[in-house]
Chains A and B, each alone.
Chain A
Amino acid sequence: MLKIENLTVKIAGKEVIQDVSLTIEKGETMALLGPNGSGKTSLIMAIMGFSDYSIVKGDIYFNGKRITGMDVDERARMGIGIMFQRPPTITGVRVRQMIELIKKEGFEIEKEAGNLKLKEFLSRDINSGFSGGEIKRSELIQLLASSPQLSLFDEPESGVDLENIALVGKVMDRILKKDDGNMGLIITHTGFIFDYVKPDKGCILVGGRLHCVGDPMAILKTVKKRGYEWCITCEGEKLKGKSRT
């Protein structure tokens, strides 16, 4: 279980996440929606423990253990994995080499690289000259190989052509269903990925604050129809007991 309590995160002295609390139960997948710059990526980077994201208040618990302040690699070894939206290029480190280092027993590199149309990329430097779609597939094969219990997906469909969204979505679904109790947090703008991965709940992050936790499809539908601002207002109204949805 992932439990975030009253989390406030700063980057370079500026608050980007304010007092966020959320829970992802074992076996659950949550969709995180929000406009550009709302703090979605910051939230998952803080969950993963990247050093630029300093936690000034609150705590993160994973499977009952407090992980606030733990190093990135410790969190990874505990079973948290991330699919980056814009990962750095690692010159001289080949995709195959990376997979060999992190793969769980029984992982078949050639077969999975074939499935993900990545065979010719195995001998390339990680992310060097990769297109948007190639980056996503390279990120996914690494996640598949390391088989985390909690997967954080940062905009898995951005930069991916329609043809490949199905491929990305199906592999995400496999990662989430591989073991009982696997969890997911998916950042999405469009919700296209919901055709392949069914989140159990959804929430909206606007201005670093969490709003409107509930049925992901209903939230997405409302956002598409009325926009994020309306959603926030709606939530505010709901709190006063005057729900309009």
Chain B
Amino acid sequence: MVHNMRRRKVKREEPHLGAVKLNIKSYRSKSKDKPYLEDLKKVNADQKRNMLSAGVDPSQRSRAGTYVQMDHSVVHSRSLFPGLEVMSTTEAIKRYEWVDNYIWKVVSAKADEFTKEALLKPHHGYFLRALPGVKATYPLQACLFISDDNIVQNVHNIIIAEEGADLQVITGCATSSDVRRGLHIGISEFYVKKNAKLTFTMIHNWADEVAVRPRTAAVIEEGGKFLSNYICLKPVKTLQMYPKAELVGKNSLAIYNSVLFAHPGSHLDVGSRVILKAENARAEVVARAISAGGDIIARGHLRGEVAGIKAHLECKGLMVTEKGHIHAIPELEGLVEGVDMSHEAAVGKIAKDEIEYLMSRGLTKGEAQAAIVRGFLDTSIMGLPSSLQKEVDNAIASCEKEVF
């Protein structure tokens, strides 16, 4: 009897491990069509502000092209750089027969209820492609925007960096300020061909009651490089994602950098997974997670399938308030002799000696804590464009203000 009671108690203590249950039917599957905008500057001031904070600049300064989807409508889609293609996935399917070879190939439609929903009720999504050898000076930007309250948005995104291409993409996901509730399902399949490079930066600026279910996978061929940056600093009800990169070609590389901030009431279950399948493949997964009262599950998984691969996983968690929860789950899996994989994980609070060190130089306690948090959430390694870096710095500063 005692044994059974103990068992039940343990179960209750692990509520965070299970995915937060969502009822897809509780969201509206229809939304009003939004007009196509030839001139992106015509988005309203609120939308502009929210897009900017997610890294998408309606003025398109220093951008190679733009895709904007509002709810279920494509409102802008244009490439400004020769050799880069920007269109909706729906348009790409119409235009190219071969696109079928890139849809539901690395993400399975049967994976879960969200992939099934996206298969059955697709609402476009972006198709971005760099032709062979094309090296764009500026990044492409894509924005998936929710402007109607309580809808579900199912997008299917495809990015292809053809052989020898160099493509940078900034994706911003945001909502209008009056949106409270919604569900975003994003299927993303990325293909990095031989000796190509894809730098993908995703910024999530959702709202308090928005649920987010990205399902993402990338395939990287010989000599290909995939650099993925993920930033989530604003409140979100529940976010659950575990993007995967498969390094299938020799000398391929995948780097994931994530910065997470969980506000009270936010539940973030975020990880990155790399499967190293080819000789001399390299991977690095780095996550920095701060809980200011919200829950974070920071996952990471490296799987070495051949000899001669090298990979490192790092997860650092910082608790900045009395409440909150960070659960770091790093996993390493070696299948053969000769793999070289390592991980380090740490969860703690801001060290008192560090705060007092800065205070001994004259900083107030709040200033010292803020400086340490800003340093912890350092995004300078992501190589963001300066305008976006400024937006991210502002978002980090507003997180600091909220806590200290």
Q: Is the CB of A48 within 8 A of B360?
A: yes
6 contacts between A and B (CB under 8 A): A73-B363, A76-B362, A81-B361, A90-B357, A93-B371, A93-B374
Output the least CB separation between A187 and chain B (Å): 16
Q: Is the CB of B362 within 8 A of A146?
A: yes
Chain B residues, CB < 8 A from A125: 375
Q: Given contacts A90-B375, A92-B376, A93-B372, are A72 and B360 in contact (CB under 8 A)?
A: yes
Number of contacting residues on B, CB 8 A?
Answer: 23
Which residue of chain B has the shortest Cβ distance to A97 in the bound complex?
B371
> Does residue B2 face the partner (Cβ distance < 8 Å to A)?
no
Which residue of chain A has the shortest Cβ distance to B351 in the bound complex?
A88
B85-120 interface code vs A (CB 8 A; 1 in, 0 out): 000000000000000000000000000000000000
Q: Given contacts A73-B364, A73-B365, A101-B363, are A91 and B376 in contact (CB under 8 A)?
A: yes
Q: Given contacts A51-B352, A71-B365, A73-B364, are A92 and B359 in contact (CB under 8 A)?
A: no
CB-based closest 7 A-B pairs = A92-B375, A76-B362, A73-B359, A72-B359, A93-B375, A92-B378, A102-B361
> Does residue B39 face the partner (Cβ distance < 8 Å to A)?
no
Q: Is the CB of A91 within 8 A of B375?
A: yes
| Partner of A82 from B353, B360, B367 at Cβ < 8 Å | B360
> Does residue B358 face the partner (Cβ distance < 8 Å to A)?
yes
Chain B residues, CB < 8 A from A91: 372, 375-376
> Does residue A37 face the partner (Cβ distance < 8 Å to B)?
no
Q: Is the CB of B372 within 8 A of A146?
A: no
> Does residue A227 face the partner (Cβ distance < 8 Å to B)?
no
Bound together, the chains give a CA A92 to CA B353 distance in angstroms of 15
Q: Given contacts A84-B357, A90-B354, are A73 and B362 in contact (CB under 8 A)?
A: yes
> Does residue A121 face the partner (Cβ distance < 8 Å to B)?
no
Residues of chain A from 60 to 80 with CB closer than 8 A to chain B in the complex: 71-73, 75-77
From B371, B372, B377, residue with most partner A Cβ within 10 Å: B371
Output the least CB separation between B312 and chain A (Å): 17
> Does residue B356 face the partner (Cβ distance < 8 Å to A)?
yes
Chain A residues, CB < 8 A from B377: 92
Question: Can you add 8 more A-B contacts, CB < 8 Å, to A76-B361, A142-B361?
Answer: A71-B359, A92-B372, A92-B377, A93-B372, A93-B375, A101-B363, A101-B371, A102-B362
| Partner of B354 from A51, A76, A88, A97 at Cβ < 8 Å | A88
B372-387 interface code vs A (CB 8 A; 1 in, 0 out): 1011111000000000
Chain B residues, CB < 8 A from A90: 354, 357-358, 371-372, 375
> Does residue A11 face the partner (Cβ distance < 8 Å to B)?
no
Chain A residues, CB < 8 A from B372: 90-93
> Does residue A87 face the partner (Cβ distance < 8 Å to B)?
yes
| Partner of A77 from B354, B362, B365, B378 at Cβ < 8 Å | B362
Q: Is the CB of A50 within 8 A of B356?
A: yes
Bound together, the chains give a CA A71 to CA B362 distance in angstroms of 10
Which residue of chain A has the shortest Cβ distance to B366 in the bound complex?
A73
Q: Given contacts A72-B360, A102-B361, A146-B361, are A92 and B374 in contact (CB under 8 A)?
A: yes
Bound together, the chains give a CA A82 to CA B357 distance in angstroms of 9
Residues of chain B from 266 to 307 with CB closer than 8 A to chain A in the complex: none
Chain A residues, CB < 8 A from B362: 73, 76-77, 102, 146
Q: Given contacts A93-B371, A146-B362, are A72 and B356 in contact (CB under 8 A)?
A: yes
Bound together, the chains give a CA A98 to CA B354 distance in angstroms of 13
Bound together, the chains give a CA A84 to CA B356 distance in angstroms of 12
Chain A residues, CB < 8 A from B357: 84, 87-88, 90
Chain A residues, CB < 8 A from B354: 88, 90
Chain B residues, CB < 8 A from A76: 359-362
Bound together, the chains give a CA A39 to CA B362 distance in angstroms of 25
Residues of chain B from 131 to 180 with CB closer than 8 A to chain A in the complex: none
Bound together, the chains give a CA A66 to CA B324 distance in angstroms of 40
Which residue of chain A has the shortest Cβ distance to B378 in the bound complex?
A92
Q: Is the CB of A88 within 8 A of B359?
A: no
Which residue of chain A has the shortest Cβ distance to B375 in the bound complex?
A92
Q: Is the CB of A88 within 8 A of B353?
A: yes
Output the least CB separation between B233 and chain A (Å): 15
Q: Is the CB of A51 within 8 A of B356?
A: yes
Chain B residues, CB < 8 A from A50: 356, 360
Output the least CB separation between A25 and chain B (Å): 23
From B361, B374, B377, residue with most partner A Cβ within 10 Å: B361
| Partner of A93 from B356, B358, B359 at Cβ < 8 Å | B358
Chain B residues, CB < 8 A from A92: 372, 374-378
Bound together, the chains give a CA A82 to CA B353 distance in angstroms of 14
Which residue of chain B has the shortest Cβ distance to A75 in the bound complex?
B360
Chain A residues, CB < 8 A from B360: 48, 50, 72-73, 75-76, 81-82
Output the least CB separation between B366 and chain A (Å): 10
Chain B residues, CB < 8 A from A75: 360
Bound together, the chains give a CA A87 to CA B358 distance in angstroms of 10
Which residue of chain B has the shortest Cβ distance to A87 in the bound complex?
B357
Output the least CB separation between A98 and chain B (Å): 7
Output the least CB separation between A151 and chain B (Å): 12
Bound together, the chains give a CA A91 to CA B373 distance in angstroms of 9
Bound together, the chains give a CA A146 to CA B362 distance in angstroms of 9
Which residue of chain A has the shortest Cβ distance to B365 in the bound complex?
A73
Residues of chain A from 177 to 211 with CB closer than 8 A to chain B in the complex: none
Bound together, the chains give a CA A91 to CA B354 distance in angstroms of 9
Bound together, the chains give a CA A72 to CA B351 distance in angstroms of 15
